[in-house]
Amino acid sequence: MEKLKERLAYFTKGEEYHLQDFMGCHRTDDGFVFRVWAPHAKQVWAVGDFNDWQKTHPMVKDDYGIWSITIGRVQTGQLYKFLVQEPNGKEVMKIDPMALRYEARPGTAAMVTEMPTRKWHDGLWKGRNKRSNNFSRPMNIYEVHPASWKQHADGSLYQFKDLTAELIPYVKEQGFNYIEFMPLTEHPLDASWGYQVTGYFALAHAYGEMADFQEFVDACHQANIGVLIDWVPGHFCINADALAYYDGTPTYEYQEKWRADNRGWGALNFDLGKPEVVSFLLSSALFWIENYHVDGLRVDAVSNMLYRDYDRGPGEWEPDQYGGNRNLEGIAFLHTLNRTIKWMHPEVLMIAEESSSQVKITGRIEDGGLGFDYKWNMGWMNDQLDFYGMDPYFRKDNFNQATFSFMYRMSENFILPLSHDEVVHGKRSLMNKMWGDRHQQFDQLRLLLTMQMTYPGKKLLFMGGEYGQYLEWRFNEGLEWSNQTDPLNDQMLAFDRSLNHFYLQERALWELEQEEASLVVIDADNRDESVLSFIRQGKTRHDFVVVILNFTPVERDHFTIGVPYAGTYQEVFNSALKAYGGTWETDNPESQTVARPFKQFDYQLETNVPAFGALILKPTKVTIKPHRHKKK
């Protein structure tokens, strides 16, 4: 009992990291104990299958605002809720916020259950991650909405048993080395895609058993595939039987209604300054890391936690104590979150989905960052998709959209996302965003993916983009796998597979990613021909690749670029080959340099660049002179 009081004290300080160990429903020698935090309730009852949902088991409140009761005749698998009497006397049936499992929808009751224990077989994977620097490793993420990757013939959803059998080998063969799942937590409405969370500790019932997801992650790790999950600590589902105004007063949400209401998502914002809420969210984050061995959290909607005026107009918000728009509690929470995760699990990746540039997101807190490892580069994504949807005639006048991100690429540690948000709500599929007829669209999709793969930053592609699905994503249907009977879609899939494996094997594309020397621009000023060229540099001087991207439907024969060393250069990747759906039968022949200046380079070479095509060259026989050291 003294140990419990000590942990409850930590809970009220925002310093309890494993709240699920004693809150919710737990087996004891006398049956099951139920505990729930509802500090301002007049009374709470435990109701469920064990008492015919009657008010026969009133709970008792302690000094910490936690109601508890031990009930003997409770069995695993039974359903339960808490009946909460609000301060005004109104009685509302509420979910258990700490439940590990809920019944199948449309029901919302918690299930009496226990976390399965597992003998894990991923020690090699976890040990390697602890010993290595994630910044100097390749990261190619396949973003998945598990309910719509595939569905059974009768329309029923794939569960994690199915995904273990089919998704893992597909991802491995295709050349992705991380899977990122949109939220897996329990949620009441499919149309929210999982972002309107009700159960922060519960795997959504529709995706199968808890042990199935453990098995999935273990199998991924044994296949050298990491698993990331989207996690939503900024806002929560507004449903009356869930967390909303849990005891009849602001409990998990802000006291001020204008801060609590999240109109953009039809949700409620967590009070990130309330210690009990901090303990709740920290415990949720650690729960998924420790019980499911996930490799990282992609934290959703960080901007909503950073700014008091986010998604609000004039007169709809109040400034902070310094007269600014910062959400000081939100910033403090994110500091605490990242410090805690990195203290307890330094190898776990913390990724921010954040769209502003006012606050530094990545990097050490001591250096002014928020402590995240990576941030989605929304600016790169918006610029590129706008540029690729543009008539090529106008690209020369908007060439800076293709190159502007060069200017700020070192300001954060970036992931380059081509995500679910861009292929829904009438925005069209990734392939169908491209300008031109169908063949030109596929040409440019190959060009876009080559640019993404060769540009500094980790990579993320939403499912369906790898084979150029024509229709935009629909959350309630499986992907159009029948597309692959079309040769263009099948060739696009083959292209993506080749490109991904090329990226994983080509160290120059990732081992110096966080350093200025990783990128050397050859020519970013060729507006008239709309051709961009640059070098990606590895650790050693001879380890580099030359990238040439042609953003027009005009083939550039005898195209000249500068290179740093004399010798021969071999084409190692060509996006326009017939095997990929292009028109080129073979690669370009080897290119020999000539000693002629080109911008900052002493040598030039010529090659032929396909229309809407991407080339990657590597030095084969070059002369690299030793660095001359100036005399002191």
Measuring CA to CA, how many Å separate 55 from each of 33, 93, 111, 247, 454?
17, 11, 18, 17, 63
Active-site annotation, residues: 300, 353
DSSP-derived letter for residue 477 is: S
Longest dimension (CA), the chain: 91
DSSP H or E stretch at residue 227: strand 226-231
Distance CA 345, CA 322 (A): 35
For residue 37, how far is the Cα from the chain centroid? 31
Taking alpha carbons only, the member of 252, 221, 225 closest to residue 236 is 252
Supply the angle between the helices 123-131 and 210-222 in degrees, to the nearest 10. Answer: 60
The burial class, CB within 10 Å (0-12 / 13-18 / 19+), for 43 is middle
Exposure string for 450-480, b = 16+ CB within 10 A, e = fewer: bbbbbbbbbbbbbbbbbbbbbebbeeeebbb
Residue 82 β-bridge partners: 46, 94
Measuring CA to CA, how many Å separate 34 from each of 49, 52, 86, 278?
14, 17, 19, 21
Taking alpha carbons only, the member of 146, 141, 330 closest to residue 254 is 330
Taking alpha carbons only, the member of 94, 75, 111, 114 closest to residue 36 is 94
Tokens read off for 399 = 């060439």
Task: Classify 222 as helix, strand or coil.
Answer: helix
Distance CA 99, CA 111 (A): 7
Task: Classify 595 as helix, strand or coil.
Answer: coil
Taking alpha carbons only, the member of 554, 616, 611, 626 closest to residue 591 is 616
Residue 297 β-bridge partners: 229, 350
Task: Classify 484 as helix, strand or coil.
Answer: helix
Distance CA 284, CA 44 (A): 24
